[in-house]
A and B are shown apart, each in its own frame.
Chain A
Amino acid sequence: MIDTTEPTEESVRKDVRTWLEANWNPNYGLVEWREKLCESGWGAPHWPKEWYGRDMPVKFNAVVDEEFARIGAVGVAKAGIRTLAAATILAHGTDLHKQKFLKRILTGEDTWCQLFSEPGSGSDMAGAVTRADKRGNKWVINGQKVWTTSAHKAHWGLLLARADWDKVKHKGLAYFILDMKQPGVQVHPLKQMNGHASFNQVFFTDAEVEPEMMVCDVGDGWTVATTTLMHERRGADGLRSWATASDKKGRIYEEERAEIATTMEPYKWYPQRAGRVDLVMERARETGRINDPVVRQEIARLLIMSKSAEWTARRARAAQEQGKPQGPEGSLGKLVASHVARQAARVHTYLTGADALLSGEESPMGGVIAEILVSVPASSIAGGTDEIQRNIISERVLKMPRETSVDTNKPFKDVPRNIVAPR
């Protein structure tokens, strides 16, 4: 019998609860359990039925998550670049890609990285100059990528490279899935001003890609990259929650904790990057600076901005949940978050006084305060600079004219570009 009734919150809750009660067992190994989730479709219910999902509207994911949490069941691997890979493959990949990669993404067996940014193309990502040349039936890759989170661990990379230099900028790009574990790929950590090395530089010297690992035709690479970027931005409205490990005892929980620790390692300074507004009032009382009316004004400016930003994100989310067209409030989060971070660093400096001269264990809160001060500059750069955000707001939301383009009306080989010193 075919069930044609539309799922409701109630029916979904009942179905997932019944399935979990019959199947969940904390003695499973992590991969073993996730394979069962893939079979049942409860690991990624909004995915298509033929690819480990249940074709359910995405709004029911919250209900499913609640039921998992209720019983203490572990879910599929969600954190990290692998989610961007999955979304891109689902939207543009071939059946071969789906078969080869999707399940291992959900089980957490494979990790991924995103090979987009280059030393010569940051904000202008479509200006990539990493080369993809056809030799025989293989693609050969030469060039350099940068800001690549987790590249040193990744099995696979999402690669944007230039395959046709006679076409205009956006039309000469191709999109590949690249095997990171090959001799032509070298990964070097990139040390940041805050001392961490969360990102890598990736060098390609005749790295190879099998023809079937091309995601789209030459010329459509930018379109596919846009899908990846869209999924990346979706997580940036300030309401994102970090993957957190359960503290329960048992084999599967231990395996999950280890996985999350590895995946989240590059991100451990990210709370400091956002300014740690949560610490401000407590620190102000502790240090006694709350009694200084000038400092109080600065704290108030920060809290007003941060609260208003939170409420603006909630307005955007409420509108989205009601199926209203996205209003302007939805495009502002990234820009506002960097204003908040900058003001927070100012305030933490005022609160800390001379101790703000110190670093590491010498600095207050075991180095957390020092880390805030040298991490917030990343907020207004990473994931689209403030300037790019303002362009997006003015052009897409306010419908102001685009800047006159000087690089899209000629073959890309004739476009002036940065000279990147050969290694």
Chain B
Amino acid sequence: MRFSFSAEQEEFRDTLRRALEARSPIKEVRRLMATDEGFDREGWKRFNQELGLTGIHIPEAYGGQGFGFGELGIVLEEMGRSLLCAPFLSTALASIAILNAGSEEQKKALLPGLADGSKTATLAFQEENGSIDASGIAMTATGNKLDGSKSFVLDGHTADLVVVVARKKGTTGNDGLSFFTAAGNAPGLTRRKLKTMDETRKLAHLTFKGVEGKPLGVEGAGGPAFAKTMQQAIVCLANEMVGGADRLREDALEYVKMRMQFGRSIASFQTTKNKAADMLVDVELAKSAAYYAAAALDEGDEDVPALASLAKAQAAEAYLQTEIHALQMHGGIGFTWDNDTHLWFKRAKSSEILFGDANQHREKMIQAWAQ
């Protein structure tokens, strides 16, 4: 297993970080989060195409760059750091689902458009019950006709392509699951933007009434692809989260070094220093877990189900704890709208819950290891 990034990977990270600082300063984040779309379609398209971001993990045969989850993790970490408002995670998850569930022909047809950024996409799997497991999926596929609803769909109101998970009537659990694709503007599909606590992360509710889906792979045999996609999704999210947590930590540290009270820098108080040290520990441990899980995916480690949940649980605890400390270190100003801390605070909260919280993933991890 690799435990360090190569010189090329480090260089890629530096380039991307600089590009994101220029592209997505906090002023731009605040502007975009207040819009209905949640991102700047033309600007994102250009930026994405310049850096080849949505194709990073897609094999070259399907128009991508052919890198792995290690590189995808770097992109997500940097985006989590900058709070970039763009449908990146959503499009990446859709492409991962297509890679896992699609036939060769379907991959060739669908992936190049996502890789080159000409289309945005999303993965719609969760429903109103909020379950992250196959058992929570109630949407039915009768032939290719999709009926039911999906909720908490990342960028679901703007995605050009929706990858959706549905089941054959009368089946339960992992049985009878199929992946379908549908155009964002397909007849019978109603999309409603949800008002979200974390405004940088747009979610939508999708209602399907007899929508004609295009099946991916073998009908009814999507169970394993769904499980795999979920494991990969949480590793992606964990990597995004550690980027945000590290940024939050750094900003709080910078603030306390500057803030004077009682005639001295508040960074000179041991109570502040202890917090700062603990925050570093939390974030570094979470990074180690997120990086390890990404490397495990790239190396086809059979322990991935446990390692993915481990990374998500650790990232959730670390981001949450960092967010609590960071706000406290800012004091009153940290609770104001104008201070930027709340933007990452809310991202920490939304990430903690998205795709399952720490308790759920600790349970999944231990279930995998207890077998």
Q: Which of B3, B274, B291 has the most CB of A within 10 A?
A: B3
Q: Which residues of A contact B280 (CB under 8 A)?
A: 328, 332, 393, 397-398
Choose, from B78-86, B160-168, B358-366, the stretch at the interface.
B358-366
Chain A residue with Cβ nearest B6: A322
B residues near A, CB below 8 A? 2-4, 253, 256-257, 264-265, 267-268, 270, 272-274, 276-278, 280-281, 284-289, 291-292, 310, 313-314, 359, 362-363, 365-366, 369-370
Choose, from A8-16, A31-39, A174-182, A384-392, the stretch at the interface.
A384-392
Q: Mark A285-316, 1 if CB is under 8 A from B, else 0.
A: 10000100100110111011101110110110
Cα(A322)–Cα(B231), bound, Å: 31
Q: Which residues of B contact A394 (CB under 8 A)?
A: 273-274, 276-277
Q: Mark A354-389, 1 if CB is under 8 A from B, else 0.
A: 000000000000000000000000000000000101
Is A215 an interface residue, CB under 8 A from the partner? no
Shortest CB distance B45–A (Å): 35
Cα(A335)–Cα(B287), bound, Å: 17
Chain A residue with Cβ nearest B249: A398
Q: Which residues of A contact B253 (CB under 8 A)?
A: 398, 400
Q: Which residues of B contact A390 (CB under 8 A)?
A: 273-274, 277-278
Is A278 an interface residue, CB under 8 A from the partner? no
Number of A residues near B (Cβ < 8 Å) is 45
Q: Which of B277, B363, B365 has the most CB of A within 10 A?
A: B277
Complex partner residue of A290 from B265, B273, B370, CB under 8 angstroms: B370
Cα(A337)–Cα(B163), bound, Å: 44
Is A317 an interface residue, CB under 8 A from the partner? yes
Tell whether, in the assembled complex, residue A311 and residue B288 are in contact, meaning their CB atoms are under 8 Å apart: yes
Complex partner residue of A300 from B2, B273, B278, B362, CB under 8 angstroms: B362
Tell whether, in the assembled complex, residue A315 and residue B3 are in contact, meaning their CB atoms are under 8 Å apart: yes
Cα(A312)–Cα(B362), bound, Å: 20
Sample (17) of A-B pairs whose CB atoms are under 8 Å apart: A296-B370, A300-B365, A301-B362, A304-B313, A308-B288, A311-B292, A312-B288, A332-B280, A332-B285, A391-B277, A398-B277, A400-B253, A400-B267, A400-B272, A401-B267, A402-B268, A403-B270
- With A303-B369, A318-B4, A391-B270 as known contacts, state yes or no: A401 contacts B281, CB within 8 Å: no
Tell whether, in the assembled complex, residue B365 and residue A304 are in contact, meaning their CB atoms are under 8 Å apart: yes
Tell whether, in the assembled complex, residue B273 and residue A400 are in contact, meaning their CB atoms are under 8 Å apart: yes
Cα(A196)–Cα(B168), bound, Å: 66
Cα(A417)–Cα(B361), bound, Å: 51
Q: Which residues of B contact A315 (CB under 8 A)?
A: 3-4, 288, 291
20 other A-B residue contacts (CB within 8 Å) besides A300-B362, A390-B277: A281-B369, A284-B370, A296-B366, A296-B370, A303-B366, A303-B369, A311-B291, A324-B4, A332-B284, A335-B277, A387-B270, A393-B277, A393-B280, A394-B273, A394-B274, A400-B256, A400-B268, A401-B257, A401-B265, A402-B268
Tell whether, in the assembled complex, residue A400 and residue B257 are in contact, meaning their CB atoms are under 8 Å apart: yes
Tell whether, in the assembled complex, residue A296 and residue B363 are in contact, meaning their CB atoms are under 8 Å apart: yes
Q: Which residues of A contact B257 (CB under 8 A)?
A: 400-401
Tell whether, in the assembled complex, residue B365 and residue A303 are in contact, meaning their CB atoms are under 8 Å apart: yes
Is A319 an interface residue, CB under 8 A from the partner? yes
Is A407 an interface residue, CB under 8 A from the partner? no
Is A404 an interface residue, CB under 8 A from the partner? yes
Tell whether, in the assembled complex, residue A299 and residue B366 are in contact, meaning their CB atoms are under 8 Å apart: yes
Chain B residue with Cβ nearest A299: B366
Cα(A318)–Cα(B10), bound, Å: 14
Tell whether, in the assembled complex, residue B3 and residue A318 are in contact, meaning their CB atoms are under 8 Å apart: yes
Tell whether, in the assembled complex, residue A304 and residue B314 are in contact, meaning their CB atoms are under 8 Å apart: yes
Shortest CB distance A341–B (Å): 14
Tell whether, in the assembled complex, residue B365 and residue A336 are in contact, meaning their CB atoms are under 8 Å apart: no
Q: Which residues of B contact A391 (CB under 8 A)?
A: 270, 273, 277
Chain B residue with Cβ nearest A391: B273
Tell whether, in the assembled complex, residue B370 and residue A281 are in contact, meaning their CB atoms are under 8 Å apart: yes
Cα(A171)–Cα(B271), bound, Å: 29
Q: Which residues of B contact A328 (CB under 8 A)?
A: 280, 284
Chain B residue with Cβ nearest A297: B362
Cα(A400)–Cα(B64), bound, Å: 44
Shortest CB distance A82–B (Å): 31
Cα(A314)–Cα(B1), bound, Å: 10
Tell whether, in the assembled complex, residue A305 and residue B285 are in contact, meaning their CB atoms are under 8 Å apart: yes
- With A393-B277, A394-B277, A398-B253 as known contacts, state yes or no: A311 contacts B289, CB within 8 Å: yes
Is A55 an interface residue, CB under 8 A from the partner? no
Q: Which residues of B contact A324 (CB under 8 A)?
A: 4
Question: What 6 pairs across the A-B complex have the smallest Cβ distances?
Answer: A300-B362, A394-B273, A318-B3, A390-B277, A311-B288, A308-B285
Tell whether, in the assembled complex, residue B3 and residue A332 are in contact, meaning their CB atoms are under 8 Å apart: no
Shortest CB distance A99–B (Å): 42
Shortest CB distance B357–A (Å): 12
Is A254 an interface residue, CB under 8 A from the partner? no
Tell whether, in the assembled complex, residue A307 and residue B274 are in contact, meaning their CB atoms are under 8 Å apart: no
Tell whether, in the assembled complex, residue A322 and residue B4 are in contact, meaning their CB atoms are under 8 Å apart: yes
Tell whether, in the assembled complex, residue B268 and residue A401 are in contact, meaning their CB atoms are under 8 Å apart: yes
Chain A residue with Cβ nearest B272: A400
Is A329 an interface residue, CB under 8 A from the partner? yes
Shortest CB distance B352–A (Å): 15
Tell whether, in the assembled complex, residue B286 and residue A300 are in contact, meaning their CB atoms are under 8 Å apart: no
Is A124 an interface residue, CB under 8 A from the partner? no
Is A109 an interface residue, CB under 8 A from the partner? no
Q: Which residues of A contact B288 (CB under 8 A)?
A: 308-309, 311-312, 314-315, 329
Cα(A342)–Cα(B288), bound, Å: 21
Cα(A389)–Cα(B276), bound, Å: 12
Tell whether, in the assembled complex, residue A336 and residue B363 are in contact, meaning their CB atoms are under 8 Å apart: no
Shortest CB distance A309–B (Å): 7
Q: Which residues of A contact B359 (CB under 8 A)?
A: 297
Tell whether, in the assembled complex, residue B267 and residue A293 are in contact, meaning their CB atoms are under 8 Å apart: no
Shortest CB distance A125–B (Å): 18
Cα(A133)–Cα(B282), bound, Å: 48
Cα(A389)–Cα(B267), bound, Å: 16
Q: Which residues of A contact B264 (CB under 8 A)?
A: 401, 404
Q: Which residues of B contact A304 (CB under 8 A)?
A: 289, 310, 313-314, 362, 365
Cα(A290)–Cα(B287), bound, Å: 28
Cα(A163)–Cα(B370), bound, Å: 60
Cα(A322)–Cα(B366), bound, Å: 34
Tell whether, in the assembled complex, residue A300 and residue B366 are in contact, meaning their CB atoms are under 8 Å apart: yes
Q: Which residues of A contact B265 (CB under 8 A)?
A: 401
Cα(A151)–Cα(B287), bound, Å: 42
Complex partner residue of A329 from B267, B273, B284, CB under 8 angstroms: B284
